[in-house]
Amino acid sequence: MNKVQRYLKQLTVIERKNSPNDFFYEGDFSLLEVGRRVAVVGSRKVSDIGIRRVESIVKRLVENGITVVSGLAEGVDTVAHSSAILNGGHTISVIGTSLDQFYPKKNTELQKQIAKDHLLISQFPKGYPTTPKNFPMRNRTMALISDATIIVEASEKSGTMHQGWEALRLGRSLFILESIIEDHNISWAKEMLGYGAEILTNDNFQDIIDDLPYLTSKELYAI
């Protein structure tokens, strides 16, 4: 039984229902087996203040020994991965293409670095066509392997909402920045609060991280 099969075998019934039947990886698989992981996601067209927020959040996650998960898209995802590396932390990228494709092209070198020094994951076999439906599927897998998801910046029609709903469906913690909740043009974030999402502020950040459980660390090598 290979590492992927072992990982999928120990999922709960609900997790298995929401997991891919198989996935492919390059890099350090142990990042998926031990320690805590937090997904940091948001808009592809991130604002300057959004960039600063991502950088601050990721720095604090790394300082707490947490692996940063994201999807290697433009915007928030790119900043999250790059900041984790810059701060000497670990990062996992769950991509919406097969491992042999690069999307967006501008992240080719970043993807190669993650595959070499961190962990790159795809649920799509080599040569699989890249279509819009791949990315919500990617979000589900990203939520699955993370103990929590933080949404930093997003619009009313942002695909980031898929990640939020998947996290809630799986019983994972979901944190939404206060600035999103206060945006009167966004309705889905407020709706998520009714299903268990929490507002993330600078004041409650450390308490949230300290209390974050190890939901997805399976210590597989001990089985």
Instruction: With respect to residue 222, please indicate whether it lies within any of the assigned structural domains.
Output: no
User: What token pair was written down for 143?
Assistant: 């939520």
Question: Quick one: pLDDT at residue 219?
Answer: 46
Annotate the chain with three-state secondary structure. Answer: CCHHHHHHHCCCHHHHHCCCCCCEEEECHHHHCCCCEEEEECCCCCCHHHHHHHHHHHHHHHHCCCEEEECCCCCHHHHHHHHHHHCCCCEEEECCCCCCCCCCHHHHHHHHHHHHHCEEEECCCCCCCCCCCHHHHHHHHHHHCCCEEEECCCCCCCCHHHHHHHHHHCCCEEEEEHHHHCCCCCCHHHHHHCCCCEEECCCCHHHHHHHCCCCCCCCHHHC
Q: How far apart are CA 102 and CA 99, in angstroms?
A: 8
Instruction: With respect to residue 223, please indicate whether it lies within any of the assigned structural domains.
Output: no
Domain of residue 72, CATH code: 3.40.50.450
Instruction: With respect to residue 172, please indicate whether it lies within any of the assigned structural domains.
Output: yes
At 162, which amino acid appears?
H
Instruction: With respect to residue 167, please indicate whether it lies within any of the assigned structural domains.
Output: yes
Q: What is the pLDDT along the chain (223 residues), one digit of tens a residue?
A: 688 988 888 888 888 888 898 999 999 999 999 899 999 999 999 999 999 999 999 999 999 999 999 999 999 999 999 999 999 999 999 999 999 999 999 999 999 999 999 999 999 999 899 998 999 999 999 999 999 999 999 988 888 999 999 999 999 999 999 999 999 999 999 999 999 999 999 999 999 999 988 877 654 333 3
Domain that residue 168 falls in: 3-212
Instruction: With respect to residue 188, please indicate whether it lies within any of the assigned structural domains.
Output: yes
Instruction: With respect to residue 218, please indicate whether it lies within any of the assigned structural domains.
Output: no
Which residues are 150's β-sheet partners?
40, 175
Instruction: With respect to residue 64, please indicate whether it lies within any of the assigned structural domains.
Output: yes
Please state the φ and ψ torsions of residue 88, each to the nearest 5 degrees. 75, 20
Query: How many domains does one find in the chain?
Result: 1
Instruction: With respect to residue 217, please indicate whether it lies within any of the assigned structural domains.
Output: no
Is the Cα torsion angle 99, 164, 158, 92 positive or negative in sign? Answer: negative
